Amino acid sequence: MAVKNKEDLPHVEIGILGGTEFYEIEGIEHIEEVQIETPFGKTSDNFIIGTLEGKRVAFLSRHGRGHQILPSEINYRANIYGFKKLGVERVISVSAVGSLKEEIKPGDIVFSDQFFDRTRRNSSFFYEGIAAHISFAQPVCAELSTVLYEAGKELGLRVHQGGTYICIEGPAFSTKAESRIYRSWGCDVIGMTSATEAKLCREAEICYSNMNLVSDYDVWHEVEEPVSVEIILENLRRNIHKAKAIIKKTITALPPKRSGQCDCAEALKDCIVTQSDVIPEEIKEKLQIIFAKYVK
């Protein structure tokens, strides 16, 4: 697999973060596998690029093929940088989550619109000589999330719009005490990846929405069996076809251009506080793809 420079890369409209199963969506054509160089190191895997419903899409397995990478070990910056390098403007993130509410049942799909981040990761492109502070009050692209939710409704699936995703470091699941506290805080679902991806997409001015496939009731539930890898994988396999159907319908329904409902395309405007003339040249070169509109 040859590494491609930016000049040789295909232009891609939509990025999909998930697992290997998503490469097999019925109807995808003109598939190619691309390895992308980034200044942050290797991406989790090669990008699988193809045409789906008339639009160019790029799939990336966040945990690598065969699920080799733990949530804390994912090179989030490289992954999102890779999407940006491909020209992606919208990213749909698909992942398994636990439910923290009785009414959100295993098998349901939740399009959360808020995050409570308890991780300790580097979730910013800005460091070592440049400071920027994005607005993150509304961390999910409302336009993209709404189209996904409406697609799920039209397909007759049990879907929930909105809610808070609490992002924990992992890799261990929660204790019962932690799970009960998260419930008391009003959180709806629990996972280990989305908050980090959302922050980096916002800095990269990429629309981001997550499609949370509910696999279990975490460990708080007194009747259901406590969460385990076996339960998660079994329920995730059952839900995969639902996620694929929503993605296909969403890709068809999305307008070709981002509309006025979405501010993601200018998320970095007025957010970089470091004067351009004091930003190290190597940082300017490294982050040129991210902030080219604002820093010369």
* 218 catalytically annotated: yes
Tell me how far apart the alpha carbons of residues 203 and 201 are, in angstroms, rounded to a whole number: 5
Tell me how far apart the alpha carbons of residues 246 and 147 are, in angstroms, rounded to a whole number: 9
* Catalytic pick among 45, 108, 113, 218: 218
Pinpoint the alpha helices (H) of the chain: 76-85, 142-154, 176-184, 194-203, 229-253, 281-286, 288-291
Q: Which two tokens stand for residue 279?
A: 């930003």
* Residues in contact with 63: Cβ distance below 8 Å, sequence separation at least 6, in sequence order: 19, 44, 69, 70, 71, 74
**CB neighbours of residue 161 within 10 Å:** 15
* Catalytic pick among 108, 113, 216, 270: 216
Contact yes or no for 75/154 (Cβ under 8 A): no
Residue 255, helix vs strand vs coil? coil
DSSP conformation class of 256: S
Q: Which two tokens stand for residue 69?
A: 């990478």
In this structure, which amino acid lies at residue 64? G
What burial class does residue 57 get, using C-beta atoms within 10 Å of its C-beta: 0-12 exposed, 13-18 middle, 19+ buried?
buried
Q: List the beta bridge partners of residue 33.
A: 48
Contact yes or no for 265/258 (Cβ under 8 A): yes
Q: List the beta bridge partners of residue 110.
A: 160, 212
Q: Which two tokens stand for residue 239?
A: 């839900």
* 113 catalytically annotated: no
In this structure, which amino acid lies at residue 251? I
- Give catalytic residue positions: 216, 218
